[in-house]
Copies of this chain bind each other. A is one copy, B any other.
Amino acid sequence: MEERGLDGAIVSGPARGNPTLAYLLGGAAVSQGIVVKKRGEPPFFVHSPIEREEAAATGMRLVNMSEYGYIDILRAKGNRLDADVELYRRILDGLDVRGEVGFYGVADQGKAYLFLQALDRALPDVHVRGEYEQGLFDIARATKDEAEVALIREAGRKTAAVINGTVAFMRRHRVVDETLVTDDGSPLTVGRVKQEILRLLAERGMEDPEGVIFAIGREGGVPHNKGGANTPIRLGQTIVYDLYPRGADGYFFDCTRTFCLGYAPPEVQQVYQDVADCVDAVVAAIKVGVEARALQRLTCEFFEARGHPTIASDPKTERGYVHSVSHGLGLAVHEEPRFSDVPSNTQTLQPGHVFTVEPGLYYPDRGYGIRIEDVVWIDEQGEVHNLTPLPRELVVEMGA
C-alpha cells in the first residue's frame, strides 16, 4: 500500500463472485461484508449481525454492522445513496481511516460511480481512489502460498478424477452406426454427459459455476461453444472437454482434454500432435523473470511454423490459433498474471504464479477443434510444476 500511496483500502460487496473479498475473508461462509484495511494494520471485517458466527470464524477483527444503525440512517436520510454515504462516513470515522483510500470489490458499475463520487465529495478527509490495472489485491492474489497451491492441487486431483469418470461413463455405452446409445436405444447426448459430469463433481464436493465446455466436432471448432445439449456423441469426432470447477474452499482448477472415441482421422491426429508439442514448448519456456507476453508470442510463432494461421498474423482469423495461451488461476478462473502480447504488459513470471497453458487449433470449416490445457505452478525456488495429474491421449477405445 505504501508503494501505491494508499492509506487505506475498502473491499466490499457480495462474498460470491467477488474473489478479492473472498481472498481477504479466507473463504468464510458469509453472504457479504466490508473489509477495511489500514496501512500496516490487520484488517477489520464489518459484517452482518445475522452472520456474526461465520464472521467470528475468520479470526479477523470484527465490527458488527448493527453498530451503525443503518435502518435509522435510511429513515433519516430518506434515500439509499445518502444513507450509504453516511454509513461509510461512520465506518471510516469509527475506524479512523483517512487520506488516500482505495475501493475494491464488485458492485453495479453505475452505482459505484454515483456512490464513490458522492463519498469523495462528502468526506473532506478522504480521497477516493481506484486502481485500473494490477491493483493491490490483484498482485497479492497472483502469488500463491503453499496452502493455496495445496488447495489448487487438490482441486486438480478431483478434476482429473471427474474427467476420467466421464470417459469411463462414455466407454460403457453401446455403439450403433458410430453413435453411442443409451439402454433405451436413444443416442447418448451432450446434455446427458453434462448431467453425469455434475454428478461426478458433486460426489467430490465441487461446483461448476461457470459451466463446463463439452463440444463435439464442428461445435468444438469454436473455442467457447459449450456444446449443444441435444448433440449426439459419435465416434471419430473431436470432443473438446474443458472443465473449470471450483473446490469447496473457493479455488478453481482448469483443465482441457480433447478426445476422439474409437478412432481419430489422420488429419486430427496430426493437428493434435501440433497442439501437444506446443504445450511442451510453452512449459519448457516458463522461467522466473520471463515476460508473460513472451508465452503468447512463442505460441503464435510455434503454430505459424507448423503452417497454421494465428491471430498474430491475422487478428480477425477464426481458423487456427485464435485465443490467449494462458491465464492466472485461483479464486477466479481468470486472474493475474495476464499474458496479452502488448507492450504495456510488463508482467514477468514470478515464484508463486499458478496459470494455465492451453494452446489450441480450431478448424470449424473442417468440423473440428483441439485444445489441451494444463495448470502449472512456479515454486519458491523457481522450479516449474505441472499440477495436472492426467495423461494426454487423443483416442479413447470403447468398451468398459
Contacts and interface: CB of A to CB of B under 8 A. Distances in A.
B81 A224 contact: no
Place the interface of chain A in its size category: 35 or more
A102 B108 CA distance: 11
A90 to B, nearest CB: 15
A225 to B, nearest CB: 5
Given A81-B133, A199-B202, A208 B210 contact: no
A209 interface: yes
Nearest to A207: B207
A56 to B, nearest CB: 10
Given A81-B133, A132-B114, A199-B203, A109 B342 contact: no
A306 interface: no
Interface in A46-62: 48-54
Interface in A301-344: 311, 315-316, 318, 322-323, 340-344
A340 B75 CA distance: 10
A69 interface: yes
Stoichiometry, copies per complex: 2
A135 B107 CA distance: 14
Contacts of A222: 50-53
A172 B115 CA distance: 53
Contacts of A131: 110-111, 114
A109 B114 contact: no
A201 interface: yes
A343 B74 CA distance: 8
Interface stretch (A12-20, A173-181, A251-259, A351-359): A12-20
A344 B74 CA distance: 8
A129 B12 CA distance: 22
Nearest to A211: B29
Interface in A36-54: 48-54
Nearest to A342: B74
A339 to B, nearest CB: 12
Given A106-B109, A112-B107, A202 B211 contact: no
A104 interface: yes
Interface of A: 12-14, 16-18, 20, 29-31, 48-54, 66, 69, 71-72, 74-75, 77-81, 102-117, 128-133, 135, 195, 198-199, 201-203, 205, 207-211, 219, 222-226, 311, 315-316, 318, 322-323, 340-344
